[in-house]
Structure 1
Amino acid sequence: MRRRVVVTGIGAVCPLGNDAVTTWQNLLAGRSGVDFIRGFPVDKLRSDIAASVKGFDVGKYLSPKEADIYGRVTHLSLAAAVEALREAGIAPIQRAPAADDEAAEGAGAAAGSTAPAGGLDRTRVGCLMSTGMGSVDIFEEQVGRSAARGPRAVSPYFIPGVMPNGAAALISMRYGLMGPSYNLASACATGTHSIATSVLMIEAGEADVMVAGGAEAATRLNTVAGFGNAKALAKAVDGDPTRASRPFDRRRQGFVMGEGAGALVLEEEQHARARGATPLAYVAGFGMTTDAEHLTRPHSGGLGLALALERALARAGAAPDVIGYINPHATSTPQGDAAEVLALRRVFGERLARIPISATKSMMGHLLGGAGAVETIAVVCSLRDQLLHPSINVEELDPECSLDVVRERRQVDLRYAVKCSAGFGGHNCALVLERA
């Protein structure tokens, strides 16, 4: 038998809240985190809206020097991981700074013991806290410095600050985690892939505990320009930015860029129970596939995502007819939503029209590499509380999408749920989660 994997902690920083509790409350209430962009000029952009994290205080997590070294995506990642680890009952370790290495001290490195504490062997704990794009803000800033003042103006911390694995390294150093730790990038499937890969590591015995998730903080002038010029972004509807993200709606026009981070503590079930941790849900199965067809467009028939769903169900030992809820990728793009419905129909057949579906992105936009992680947290909360959050802005359901879209929070008797993600490059990942 495979080792069963449970979720023992969740943490989120996103447009709907700076912790998982607030995020879940706002999802249930159907609130939107989308607003107009105010951080840079938008007059020449094709879209002037985004979903941003508000009121985040990095000083709660990093010293001023550390905050300058790391990019915003790493700030958000650390905050989400701290919350998840705290809920799981895993504390940071106390270490003395490495006084002979100023750069290492600023980056958070230190010397200390890695001996088991409180029944936790930290050599058996890893971290796949990932990002699809990395510290875009640091990269832009340092390239700008070089262009304006010459290469000697580039910070010596540029490389550690911009590297995508910075968050995984920082979290591992903070908590003394010596198991598998790195960054996994698969565009908008990054967070979900990190969860699936972490489950695989625990099942294979490579780790007992993994911090898994994804993050993105890439709402910058050039990224918004790039997505906008590709005609992928939505605009405010009748002047209202909160109505722009509308998965499965007939008037959907594109996705809304968002930023944020989601982290989950995943743990072998008996290991969790032995140290007194409370399981929030099981990750019962996963499937990972590739469309192998187009760099940015999903498979027109949804074949790759359907295969990922079938593999996730098979691994979970769950038939399609036991799934009681689907949290889809649902970006609000015309092609993407249509292809996803075809994929779901391949797997669930006519029953699809009777399975409740709600799109988290309708309220917080598309967090790119962080989307799958935060949306998986929403599924964990649904299983824990037996509540489904609504999809907002579904004013007229697309006739091609015959779905049971949840319009208001719904009480359910839910045992199994599915989370789907897809990313540029044709990368697909699906999870089956089970009530604890």
Structure 2
Amino acid sequence: MAEPRVTQLTGVHAVSALGRGAEAQLAGVLAGVPAFGAVRRFDTAARRVTVAATLPEVGPLGDELAAAIEAACGSAGLVGAQREQCALLLAVHGGPAPGVGPTPGVLAVQLAAACGLSAHTRVYTSACVSASTAVADAATLIARGDVDRVVVAAGYLVEPDQFALFDAGRALAVDGAVRPFSAHRRGLLLGDGVAAVVLESSAGRRRGVEPLATVVGWGRAGDAFHPCQPDPTGAGLARAVDAALRRAGLPPQAVGYVNANATGTPQSDAAEAAALRRALGPYATQVPVSSTKSVHGHALEASGLLELVVTVLALRHGELPVNAGWLAPDEACPLDVITDHPRQTTTAHALTLNAAFGGANTALLVGAP
């Protein structure tokens, strides 16, 4: 019987308000200093909340994505014909206003051509699970033997339309801080995020490239509970976690860290805690948990990829990120939340979770290469 094909992560790049490059992301989440500040990119005078985690200088999203793809391919050692064999899976917002820029499908084609990738592209516009869904699809394609390598890229730069929608919906934290799982949490804050990763079968090792991590499991599930609110029982997200563990052939006790979706909103954080209890059982109160959104903000369509990069780098470094903004425990979230300072770890596996409006849920399980 043929050996199962593993999906290895061989190249990464990421940009957020924490800085440019993967190492800047790691340093930022381990420092635990939130990157939120006054928005100067557009006028927020009419808004209730006026802060986000934004880069002081940033180019058009297409340019930032192209640079991220180039950097990720470079770190994976992909050149020439090797790039030409890479499909591009792109996670971005559903589409610009007429005349503002290319549609997502056109943007994907343009990026593939500019970066020397294959003409095979796919676009994901499924809100906050866009990037994590793209990673799950890439891993499926590789595991099935359809392809040897895939580039996944994702991007969101804080802009006035989404900012206004979240502000009008009273989802943004009026106290200017994201406090996942904490008592007195007030909501989320948006943040810039652009990332790209290269996922491969064993092709990377054959080129002499040492993988950064392995995507060992992935799961997706919907709960369709409410257009905007999560199922308070956490059933959908728990099914996604179950599927990721089952695909990896691992028990809950193998999970040594969870980078949670936790946005800092009262309902979603409590629902996620319930999901972890359903999926992990008694172990849910023992596994270290944090949400790096507390530092870099919510990057919407790009969140899943930015948080995957951060999680992989933290595992390799042996330190788990702080859950910033913590005030006090909340009885609705009885978890082992990492507060005050990073936690040393030797764990080989970590979960990164994402959820979106409409009841979409994803779980990615990564491990040592």
Q: TM-score, normalised by structure 2?
A: 0.95
How far does residue 278 in structure 1 lie from its aligned partner after superposition?
1.3
Q: 2:321 maps to what in 1?
A: 389
Report matched runs for 1:337-416 at 5 Å: 337-407=269-339, 408-416=341-349
- Quote the Cα distance in structure 1 between the aligned partners of 2:94 and 2:54: 16
Matched, 1:227 2:166: yes
Name which of 187, 191, 199 aligns with 1:266: 199
Matched, 1:297 2:229: yes
Q: 2:31 maps to what in 1?
A: 29
How far does residue 383 in structure 1 lie from its aligned partner after superposition?
2.0
Do the aligned partners of 2:129 and 2:360 also contact (CA within 8 Å) in 1? yes
- Quote the Cα distance in structure 1 between the aligned partners of 2:252 and 2:106: 39
Do the aligned partners of 1:417 and 1:434 also contact (CA within 8 Å) in 2? yes
How far does residue 380 in structure 1 lie from its aligned partner after superposition?
0.7
Which letter does structure 2 place at the counterpart of 1:283?
Answer: V
How far does residue 132 in structure 1 lie from its aligned partner after superposition?
3.0
Do the aligned partners of 1:194 and 1:214 also contact (CA within 8 Å) in 2? no
Do the aligned partners of 2:11 and 2:199 also contact (CA within 8 Å) in 1? yes
Q: Which aligned runs of 4 or more in structure 1 are off by greater than 6 angstroms?
A: none
Q: 1:210 maps to what in 2?
A: 150
- Quote the Cα distance in structure 2 between the aligned partners of 1:276 and 1:29: 33
How far does residue 200 in structure 1 lie from its aligned partner after superposition?
0.8
How far does residue 343 in structure 1 lie from its aligned partner after superposition?
0.4
Q: 1:198 maps to what in 2?
A: 138
Which letter does structure 2 place at the counterpart of 1:199?
Answer: A
What RMSD, in angstroms, separates the aligned Cα atoms of the two structures? 1.7
Change (3 A) 1:213 1:341: farther
Name which of 65, 72, 80 aligns with 1:84: 72
Do the aligned partners of 1:78 and 1:167 also contact (CA within 8 Å) in 2? no
Do the aligned partners of 1:387 and 1:409 also contact (CA within 8 Å) in 2? yes
- Quote the Cα distance in structure 2 between the aligned partners of 1:385 and 1:314: 27
Q: 1:64 maps to what in 2?
A: none
Report matched runs for 1:305-316 at 5 Å: 305-316=237-248
How far does residue 179 in structure 1 lie from its aligned partner after superposition?
5.9
- Quote the Cα distance in structure 1 between the aligned partners of 2:291 and 2:170: 21
Q: Give the number of aligned pairs.
A: 366
| Per-residue deviation, residues 165-212 of structure 1 (Å, max 9, x unmatched) | 344323311233226312112111111111111111111222111111
Matched, 1:125 2:86: yes
| Per-residue deviation, residues 294-338 of structure 1 (Å, max 9, x unmatched) | 211111211111000000100011111111110110111111101
Q: 2:62 maps to what in 1?
A: 74
How far does residue 53 in structure 1 lie from its aligned partner after superposition?
2.0
- The structure whose Rg is larger is 1
Which letter does structure 1 place at the counterpart of 2:62?
Answer: T
Look up the SS of the partner of 1:212 in the other structure: strand
Look up the SS of the partner of 2:73 in the other structure: helix
Q: TM-score, normalised by structure 1?
A: 0.81
Which sections of structure 1, spanning at least 5 residues, go unmatched? 59-71, 94-115, 143-157
Which letter does structure 1 place at the counterpart of 2:351?
Answer: V
Which letter does structure 2 place at the counterpart of 1:364?
Answer: H
Do the aligned partners of 1:130 and 1:165 also contact (CA within 8 Å) in 2? no
Which letter does structure 2 place at the counterpart of 1:286?
Answer: W
Q: Percent identity?
A: 34
- Quote the Cα distance in structure 2 between the aligned partners of 1:263 and 1:178: 16
Do the aligned partners of 1:389 and 1:406 also contact (CA within 8 Å) in 2? yes
Change (3 A) 1:425 1:74: farther
Do the aligned partners of 1:18 and 1:53 also contact (CA within 8 Å) in 2? no
- Quote the Cα distance in structure 2 between the aligned partners of 1:121 and 1:249: 44
Look up the SS of the partner of 1:162 in the other structure: coil
Which letter does structure 1 place at the counterpart of 2:93?
Answer: G
Which letter does structure 2 place at the counterpart of 1:227?
Answer: F
Do the aligned partners of 1:227 and 1:233 also contact (CA within 8 Å) in 2? yes
Do the aligned partners of 2:54 and 2:158 also contact (CA within 8 Å) in 1? no
Do the aligned partners of 1:341 and 1:401 also contact (CA within 8 Å) in 2? yes
Do the aligned partners of 1:246 and 1:392 also contact (CA within 8 Å) in 2? yes
Change (3 A) 1:84 1:13: same
How far does residue 218 in structure 1 lie from its aligned partner after superposition?
4.1
Name which of 325, 328, 337 aligns with 2:260: 328
- Quote the Cα distance in structure 2 between the aligned partners of 1:338 and 1:177: 42
Which sections of structure 2, spanning at least 5 residues, go unmatched? none
- Quote the Cα distance in structure 2 between the aligned partners of 1:434 and 1:197: 18
- Quote the Cα distance in structure 2 between the aligned partners of 1:304 and 1:209: 30
